[in-house]
Chain A
């Protein structure tokens, strides 16, 4: 258990620093690369929670596809590659107050609700077969709806971005 806590601490520190850099850095490409650190940290957390399939999907879909999509977006909008100054609007103070207040509120609620709750000594590994069975038996209708939604999003993106 000690080893897991040490690993969690390292991952959490890296993710927190990288997340703060995503929203404060003055270089758009660096923001995308810091986002990779955060997404990889989330995948590592899934491994810690014994959710292997979700961790693999996280790496494939987020780091493999979505970050590449972001880099294409940066390229197509001809964003400056170097540092720039005009990435933030003039609401930074209010935004900071709102997010710190929200963090305090959520933290207080979490301490109140789950202050002493421990995860089991060894978390049961949810096998990939069980995930598949659950999706295709109990949640097959949401799964089909997601298929339609992905198709609609694909067609919508093509129609919106088409040049005519």
Chain B
């Protein structure tokens, strides 16, 4: 197996996630796209850990998983608050700070 096949797949996942963050306007779907990006980073970490034959890649991937869990919890709480205040989670309507 080449190292690059894992890195290419991770790069593809990352770019799909970036497209999702930019093109979606539903708050929950934007958070799902962020999860795609975080998973791409994790694949990179574990692949490089296997390549260098060290356990550190896995340790960092576990840290990223913990951060992702916290991020989704707070993110969904914010989306719920937006829904409660505006009765919609359309992020293009959340523009009261626009100059």
- Residues on A lying within 8 angstroms of B by beta carbon are 1, 4-5, 8, 12, 15-16, 19-20, 22-23, 28, 31-32, 35, 38-39, 42, 45-46, 48-51, 53-54, 57-58, 61-62, 65-66, 69-70, 72-74, 76-79, 86-89, 91-92, 94-96, 98-100, 102-103, 106-107, 110-111, 114-120, 123-124, 126, 130-131, 134-135, 138-139, 142-143, 146, 149-150, 152-154, 156-158, 160-161, 163
A-chain residues with CB within 8 Å of residue B43 when the two chains form the complex: 42, 45
A76-B80, A117-B51, A146-B66 as given contacts; A86 in contact with B23, CB under 8 Å: no
- Residues on B lying within 8 angstroms of A by beta carbon are 1-9, 11-20, 22-29, 31-33, 35-36, 39, 42-43, 46-47, 49-51, 53, 55-59, 61-63, 65-74, 76-81, 83-84, 89-92
A-chain residues with CB within 8 Å of residue B26 when the two chains form the complex: 28, 79, 87
Q: Which of A1, A58, A114, A153 contacts B4 (CB 8 A)?
A: A114
CB pair B16 A142 closer than 8 Å? no
Q: Which of A20, A150, A160 contacts B70 (CB 8 A)?
A: A150
